[in-house]
Structure formats: C-alpha cells, structure tokens
Amino acid sequence: MRKIKEINTNMSKETFNKYVPLFLLAVVMLWMKTYISQKTQFKLDVEGSLQELLLFINPLGSALLLLSLSFFFKGKRKYLSLLTIYTLMSIMLYANVVYYRFFSDFITLPTLFQTQNFGDLGGSVATLIQPTDILFFVDVLFLGFLVFSKRVQKDTRNFKTKTVIPVITMALAISFFNLALAEGDRPQLLTRGFDRNYIVKYLGMYNYALYDTVESLKSSSQRVLADGDNVTEILNYTTSNYAAPNEKYFGAAEGKNVIYLHLESIQTFLMNYELNGEEVTPFLNSLTKDDNTLYFDNFFHQTAQGKTSDAEFMLENSLFGLSKGSAYITKSQNVYQSAPAILKDKGYESAVFHGNNATFWNRSEIYKSFGYDRFYDIESYTNLEDGDMAEYGVMDKPFYEQSADILETLPEPFYTKFITVSNHFPYAIDQELTTIGKGTTGDPSVDNYFQTARYADEALEQFFADLEESGLADNSMIVMYGDHYGISDNHNKAMEQVLSKEITPVENTNLQKVPLFIYAPGMEGGVNHTYGGQIDLMPTVMHLLGIDTQKYIQFGTDLLSKDHKELVTLRNGDYVSPEIYSIGDNFYNAKTGLPLEEDQLEEAEKLQQQGNYKLQLSDKVVNGDLLRFFTPEGFTPIDPSDYNYQTPATEEVE
C-alpha cells in the first residue's frame, strides 16, 4: 500500500514538474505582454509610484487565474486548453489596442452586439493595423510551438483538485490585494465613475472585461425590474431643472420646416482656421457672421462609444446615450417621445436621409421607435459613379444633390435629418476632388482631415444653394451640428503643431467642442458664447418652433433660456463650465488652465455630483425603458409596427 502511494506521489510530482514550468512561462509572458501594452498602447495617465505599481501587477492575478483553468482539463487537453485560453486573452488585448487607436476607449460587452456594423468598418480598421502588431502574437506562436512540438515531453496524467486550489487561491489573493490598493488610491472605484480608463489603469484589461460584463448584465436587468414608481424621481428632477423659453426667440421658427445637417467629425477648431493661409471651411465661416444664423462656439459633444448614433440619440430625445455600447443597438425597442413624434402631433412629416445601408447602426429599427415616417437609405440614390462613393456611403456632394430633389417632393411642414459621411475617419478622398492641400504634421489622420473637411464644407454650400433655388430655404430652420471629434487625443502631438500650442488637459477638453449653427430667415442671429451640449439641442429647437417642453422628460435645457445652467456634463462624468473644468480626478480653472485653488474645490465637487446625478437618472430612463410608464398630456405614443422602410422611400412619396 505504501509503495502504491509512493508511486502515485512520484507520478504527481512528475506531472507537476513537466506541466507547471510551461504554465508559469505562459503566465509570465501574458503578464509582461499585457503590462507593456497597457503602458505603451493606452493613454491611462498613470501618476505616482502606487499607480505604476498597480499597472504592473494588475495583469498578474488575471493571467494566473484564467490560465489556471487549464489544470481542470484531462490528459493532453490541458496543454491545448492552455494555448486556447492564452490565445483568446491575447486576441482580447489586441482588439482593445486597435479599438483604442481610434476611439480612445475600450471594447465593452454591448459593443460586441454591434458586429452588424463591422462589414462597413473594414477599411477604417485596416488603417489602424500596424506592421509591428505581429509582435502581439509572437508569444502565441512560441507557446503553440512548445505545445505541439514532439521535442517537448508531455504528461497525460491529471492534476488533483487539491493541487490546483493553491494556485487559484494565490491568483485571487493577488487580485484582491490589487483591488484593495486601488480602492485606497481611488475610493469607490467600481461605483462612482463612468470612465473606463480608470478601471483599466487600476485593475487591468482582463478584470475590466469581467467588471464590464457584470455591469452590462445589471443594466440589462433594469428594464425587467422597473415600474411606474421609478418615474417619480425622474419627473421631480426634470421639472425642477426646466428652463423656460426666451420670449425673444420662443416661436421664432414656428411652422417652419426643420432640416438637420449632420456635420460628420467637424470640430470647432476648424472654424476660421487657415491652413497655409487658406480657410479650410470658408462656407461655415461665413455662416458665423450671417444675420439670420445663431452660432454657438462653446458647444460640446457628449458622445461615448455610440459616437454618431449617440449624437443622433441626444438631439432626438434629450436623453444621454449609454456609457457603453449604443442605445441604437441595444435599446431600439424602447418607448421614446422623440422629436418626430412630438412634431407629428403638430402636422409635421418626418424623414431621414443617409447614403449608407438602412441597417447600419440599426437605424432601420430605432427610427420606427422615434416615429420617422420615411427613411431614404443607399437604395434611394441612383446612377452613382465610382467617385461618388465613400467608405461609409455616398459622398456628400452627390448625396445632397439627389436628396435635394427628394426633399422638394415632401409635404410641408417637414422635419428632416441628413447624415453625411465624407468627413469620416480615415479621411480618404480622391485627390481629384480636393481643393486644398494636406496638412504637414506627418500624421496621416490629421493631415488628410483638412481635405475632407473642405470637401464637406463645399457640399454644404452647394446644398444651401439648392435650397434657396427651390425656395425651401425661406421657410426652413436649418440646424447644423458636429456629431463628435474627428481627431482623437491619440493625435495630440500632431494637433500641437496644428494649433501651435501645448495640448494641456483643458486644451484637450476644448477640442471636444463641435460647431452648432441654427439658421432661420427672420431670426436674429449672432455668435452665442453660452456653454451647452448636444443634450440641450432638442429643447432649444422645440422652443424655437413654439413648442414648450415642460411636460416632457428631457435632460437638456434651452440654450437661449435665461434659466439655462452652463454646466455641460460629458458622458464619462467629466464636466465643463465657464469657470471650472472637471477632467479625470482633477479640477481646473477654465480660463487659465491651471489646477483649481483650494477654496473652489467644494463648489467644483458639488457640480460634479450634480452632473453624475443627471447621468444616472438619464441611464435609469433608458435602461429601464421608463417612458413606457409616462405619457405627457396631448402626446400620441408611437407604435413602431406602423412604420415600414422596406419599400423604397422614393416610391412612397405621393
């Protein structure tokens, strides 16, 4: 008996000695690769020795825990499972690196539901892949060689559970130690913040993925658990924060058509900017001086991962987009009280024009929930030549040209939106279509940006001319808005050359300004310096149309109202105001760009709490689908089944 036990013990040690060195090698390789990637590929703003330590150790616990799952597989399958887990974790890491290069953000579980868009994103993704990226998988190939090589002796015997438990215990101990240190440096890390950079910085890429999965499941469960009682808190907030319309502007565009023009990736810094002595956007520049145009130069985008869809979502509903993923994808079946639905009760016809597939960003579904009568997608644009197509659809000039013809057939008054694509990353354009040279920073994204922005500006001028020729301009309010940044902060070194100044945290936040123009014949225009964001656009437009928004659940306020509070909450929880900028964990003087004085911190933190509370309430409305429990007096709810965009829209117009 003793001999058998001794043989078993020796066999166990033999197995341990043959497999564990390979396992430990995999742990160390994944740990180091992840640490180096987090250090070099992501802008995590690591400060101080403690945060450096946390960034170094946070991949270890995850790597040790997840790779230890291979111990539970039998025979040679434990080697294959080790390689499989290692490969999947490497793919997750690399996917986030590529995603971060453009979005300055991390992949979340809801973004994985957006795979229907990936076919349209192929070209953009290709531009983000670099030759040196092969280094992310050299270790995978090396581990694969060791696993499959006959020269490396394998052991088919199995590990006992009591042998594996110490490894798992050690992995969990490292992870909890990591969390304790992180909580010490940033209390309530997992409960108070909206910024994913902090989670990755403190807990690491793999723990972030676990945290994100839990949070996404919690968000999904909110609709099931919600009831009408949840609306009371929301109504109390929106009622107490309502901003009454400005008497001077209320009804200034009453009865007019509404034409939204989507300024894809246009940032405010382009206004009046000259490249080599030449204006990049001469037409938009002229509108800033137009007597019938209101131009807002302190208007910020508030988008997150949904980007363009987030901007659309806010301007249609005055609700914030989601902190992760896109409401267009995951909340398309919600009940909404959108602008098209509100205006339908006022006799307005509504339509969207977009030169891409109807299914892109799930527009063909959520537009039904918004109450759009018509949707003109790529199928509505005919006789297109090779030079008429951009990566994401029809180029702006042919898009506007054909759209103008359709627009003339719509019954008035109408509410319409035009979504353009030419000025979209990676800013590729046939050089025969350009009328301005490239930038000279050496950064292709930045240098090409000026050419596509000029093309978009010229297309806008052409469309305005078409509207004037048809007579529609005289009876329309035209709203032009930038949807999100075009140049992310990953390109700040090049942007320092463009702006001829250092990109400080405050300057980087100022680059999140996007232009807002509201043109209406007979309305007094001018440059407006009010601080506002996309969440404020819907109530502003409604008040200009003479429709009071007091009875609706909206989280923005009229930019022209004397009661409008100039606190712009960004989707990640930061905020801007005329006096204070909140960026990450720090507060800055908005004018000097310097850290805030001690005596102003109390006010700054108070504003932070107000902004976060607004985000939380908006998320409750969207995640809980709370508008199904509340119908404002006089509002006719939308039934999405009443809408069908399958028939070509051009055939529907009588």
Residue numbers annotated as active site: 308
Alpha carbons 452 and 264: distance in angstroms, whole number = 10
Helix/strand/coil for 385: coil
Q: Where are the alpha helices (DSSP H) in 41-76?
A: 48-67
Q: Please identify which residue in the block is written with the tokens 């109530």.
A: 539
- The answer for 383, left when phi > 0, alpha when psi is -120 to 50, beta otherwise, is left
**Cβ(114)–Cβ(324) below 8 Å:** no
CA 32 to chain centre: 30
Question: Closest Cα partner for 246 from 563, 623, 612?
Answer: 563
Helix/strand/coil for 172: helix
Is 581 exposed, middle or buried (CB count within 10 Å of its CB: 0-12, 13-18, 19+)? buried
CA 99 to chain centre: 12
**Torsion on CA atoms 179, 183, 185, 187, rounded to nearest 10:** 160
Is 644 exposed, middle or buried (CB count within 10 Å of its CB: 0-12, 13-18, 19+)? exposed
Question: Closest Cα partner for 416 from 335, 348, 314?
Answer: 348
Q: Which two structure tokens, joined as six digits, stand for 303?
A: 């988008």
Per-position b or e across 380-409, b if 16+ CB within 10 A of its CB: bbeeeeeebbbbbbbbbbbbbbbbbebbee
If you ran DSSP here, which 8-state letter would residue 595 be given? B
Q: Which two structure tokens, joined as six digits, stand for 399?
A: 């898009």
The angle at the Cα of 135, spanning 129 to 140, to the nearest 5 degrees, equals 115
Question: Closest Cα partner for 399 from 462, 446, 315?
Answer: 462
**Cβ(234)–Cβ(617) below 8 Å:** yes
**Cβ(351)–Cβ(646) below 8 Å:** no
Q: Which residues contact 130 (CB under 8 A, 6 or more apart)?
A: none
Alpha-carbon torsion (320, 573, 298, 482), positive or negative: negative
Strand bridging mode 526-528 / 293-296: parallel
